[in-house]
Amino acid sequence: MSVRLTSELADFVNDKSTTKILATVNGDGSPHAVVKHSLHVGDDGNIHVLELLESSNTNRNLVRSIWFGSKVAIALLGKDGRSIQIKGQPVKNHITGPLFQAHYQRIREQLGDVDLSSVWVIEPHEVIDQSFAKRKAEEEAKHPFFTHLDRLAG
């Protein structure tokens, strides 16, 4: 089931200083993770990924995700240390049309003489705060006895 990203989270995703890593699954089941500066939240509230290379592993894996219904993960790290993971489902691949054309013109203005293979649409299903303080509090509440002995003795 999809979730709506808050405007604050959309701003975080769209911030150029946020590091964005897209994780997909290769055909052999191994993970494939790449930094994707072209990842952003579109006007439709979904995540859009601009794929420049037709034969890239990421492109192949996203096609496989649509065929077999597998999910992807997006890890985000802000300059302030904030860390968020978004799990989602690729639902559409634009290779033509107004959305594709708008992104194609913009990417050529930014990068020069490059191609745009496709605009992937990823529907967000889950948002997880992966910041250390948040995760530590959750772990301590869930597993209060998982404490190193030196912390108890000191």
Chunked into runs of 10 residues, the chain (154 residues) has average pLDDT values of 92 97 96 96 96 93 95 97 97 97 94 94 96 81 76 65
Total structural domains within the chain: 1
CATH code: domain of residue 57: 2.30.110.10
The answer as to whether 105 is a domain residue is: yes
| Predicted structure pTM score | 0.87
Q: Residue 30 belongs to what domain range?
A: 7-153
CA distance 106 to 146: 51
Tell me if 77 is assigned to some domain: yes
